[in-house]
Structures are given as structure tokens and as C-alpha cells.
């Protein structure tokens, strides 16, 4: 049975909550829902400890690490937010700020994710794109988007939700890993090259060496076609020279 972890970035039980509940009807598995509003995570201080020294040096590690570990244990991941002032909610942005180190040290290469965004007016596609890009930087193999404008509607239109959530669920259950986008290969090799410079960020260097990812064009769990292999090697060569 598949295991899904949901991060709910909405501070209230309205449209985003309803979309998640509809999507869950199309997924077979167990669910654990994390409501950030109830976690009361302190604001990120911008101290850079997580990036420079390691995530365990974050002053709020005890708040963040249990959530990250839940994502690691899950087969599928759902992250959601309503649009607040053309962006994600403050509580979700605060969580993402706390996980900035994952941009440097990606690790979710064998996982799929579903982004859920709702709005009363506009901005849903922009916010969904931001969350999609964030998860891809984290290493996620495939990210699906549900982005809905709910303003002025007296009921939830479920056809689009059902279609995308079924695709997401089928993909999770298949275990198939998709070829990454060129942009994902590019950023992987940026961080890979940064880890072997003459003066690397200590935590980054440890991660890339200890995981063995420094020795691969991309995560070995994911196959690259010949063109992307050449592209990866070229990017790594270039960035080692310029960084």
C-alpha cells in the first residue's frame, strides 16, 4: 500500500482543504496530513547554518526535521497552499525557507509529488509553478499541478482534480522514474561542481561525497538518455572550471 504525506499550507479549512480531500479519493494508500498552522514553526532566522554547517545545526531543527523525515518515508508527497498576495502562505514559505539546504543537497530523486493551489482570484498558476520548481530543485522525479481559481463558484469542479490526481496516483504506484528535464540536470551539476571546488561549502562537500552522488552525472536511480548524459558531463566540466 502506498504512503502519502500531505503538507497543508493553508491556515484554514476552505478551498485548498476541499481540493485535497477530493484528490485523496483517487489515491490508494495511507495518508498523513501535516497542518503547518498547528506546528507553530518559528520564523527562519536566515542564519545559513543549515546550508553551511548542516541541517542539524538549524536552531529550529526539532521542528523541521520530523517533517522532512516524513517526506523521505513517503511514496507520494502532496504540498498545498492558497494564494496569498500572489504567493504561498507565510507559514508555507517559512517552512520552505527552513529547507533551503535541500536546494544544495537534493535527495528525493525516486519520489513523485502533487502541488495543490487554490485562489479566490488570480495567481494560482504562478504559485503552482513556484512550488513545482522548488520540488524539482529538491530532486523530485515528477511533479503534478492542480491550480484552481475558486472565486465566485458555489461548488468545486472536480473533473480536473480527478484527472490529475489519478495520473499522480498511477505514477506513484507504477514506480517508474522519468527522465529529468535539462534544467534539472543543469542544477544538479551546478551543486555537484560546487562541492568539489577548492573551497566548497563544508556541508555540501560532505553530502555529495558521502552519498556518492558526486561520481554520477545524475542520481543513479534515474536513467539519462545519451544526449542528457553528454549535457551533464559538459555542464559539470564547465562549472568546475568557472566556480
Let me know whether 118 and 195 are in one domain.
no
Mean local confidence (pLDDT), 28-43: 96
Can you tell me the mean pLDDT for 204-227?
Answer: 97
Residue recorded with cell 484552481: 148
Give 157's pLDDT tier (boundaries 50, 70, 90): confident
Burial class (CB in 10 A: 0-12, 13-18, 19+), 29: middle
Assess contact for 9 and 81: CB atoms under 8 A. Answer: yes
Please check the confidence at residue 42 and state whether its pLDDT lies above 80.
yes
With 70 as the cut, is the pLDDT of residue 92 above it? yes
Question: Which of 152, 174, 196 lies at the terminal end of a domain, its last residue?
Answer: 174
Residues 106 and 9 in one domain: yes
112 and 191 together in one domain: no
152: confidence class by pLDDT, cuts 50, 70, 90 = low
Q: How many residues does the chain have?
A: 243
Structural domain for 151, as ranges: 2-174
223 DSSP 8-state letter:
-
Query: What pLDDT does residue 151 have?
Result: 76
Confidence band of 154 (pLDDT split at 50, 70, 90): low
For residue 108, name the pLDDT band (cuts at 50, 70, 90).
Answer: very high
Number of structural domains, the chain? 2
Element holding 77 (H helix, E strand): strand 76-82
Pair 159, 199 in one domain? no
Return the closest-CA partner of residue 226 out of 179, 173, 193.
Answer: 179
- Cell 560546487 belongs to 194
Query: How large is the average pLDDT for residues 41-66?
Result: 97
pLDDT, average across residues 161-176: 97
State whether 106 and 194 are in the same domain: no
Same structural domain for residues 158 and 224?
no
pTM, full prediction: 0.95
Please write the tens of the pLDDT for every residue from 47-56: 999 999 999 9
- In terms of domains, do 41 and 146 share one? yes
Measured between alpha carbons, how far is residue 211 from residues 133, 184, 196, 226 in Å? Answer: 23, 18, 14, 24
C-beta separation of 14 from 151 below 8 A? no
Residue 49: per-residue pLDDT: 97
CA separation (Å) from 166 to 58, 121, 233? 37, 26, 36
Last residue of a domain, one of 116, 147, 174: 174
Ordered alpha helix ranges (H), the chain: 15-24, 36-39, 49-52, 61-73, 90-98, 101-104, 124-137, 159-174, 182-194, 202-211, 226-242
157 CB neighbour count, 10 Å cutoff: 11
For the domain that residue 145 is a member of, what is the CATH number? 3.40.50.360
Residues 192 and 231 in one domain: yes
Amino acid at each position: 500500500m502506498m504512503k502519502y504525506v500531505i503538507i497543508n499550507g493553508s491556515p484554514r479549512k476552505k478551498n485548498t482543504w476541499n481540493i485535497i480531500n477530493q484528490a485523496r479519493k483517487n489515491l490508494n494508500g495511507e495518508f498523513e496530513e501535516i497542518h503547518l498552522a498547528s506546528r507553530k514553526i518559528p520564523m527562519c532566522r536566515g542564519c545559513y547554518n543549515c546550508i553551511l554547517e548542516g541541517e542539524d545545526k538549524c536552531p529550529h531543527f526539532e521542528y523541521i526535521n520530523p517533517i522532512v523525515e516524513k517526506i523521505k518515508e513517503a511514496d507520494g508527497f502532496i504540498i498545498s497552499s492558497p494564494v496569498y498576495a500572489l504567493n504561498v502562505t507565510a507559514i508555507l514559505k517559512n517552512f520552505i525557507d527552513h529547507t533551503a539546504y535541500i536546494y544544495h543537497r537534493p535527495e528525493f530523486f525516486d519520489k513523485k509529488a502533487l502541488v495543490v493551489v487554490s485562489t479566490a482570484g488570480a495567481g494560482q498558476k504562478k504559485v503552482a509553478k513556484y512550488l513545482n520548481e522548488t520540488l524539482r530543485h529538491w530532486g523530485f522525479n515528477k511533479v503534478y499541478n492542480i491550480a484552481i481559481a475558486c472565486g465566485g463558484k458555489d461548488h468545486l469542479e472536480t473533473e480536473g482534480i480527478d484527472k490529475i490526481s489519478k495520473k499522480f496516483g498511477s505514477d506513484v504506484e507504477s514506480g517508474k522514474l522519468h527522465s529529468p528535464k535539462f534544467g534539472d540536470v543543469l542544477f544538479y551539476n551546478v551543486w555537484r561542481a560546487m562541492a568539489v571546488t577548492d573551497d566548497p561549502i563544508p556541508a555540501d562537500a560532505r553530502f555529495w561525497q558521502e552519498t556518492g552522488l558526486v561520481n554520477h552525472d545524475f542520481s543513479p536511480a534515474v536513467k539519462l538518455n545519451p544526449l542528457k548524459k553528454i549535457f551533464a558531463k559538459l555542464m559539470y566540466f564547465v562549472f568546475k572550471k568557472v566556480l
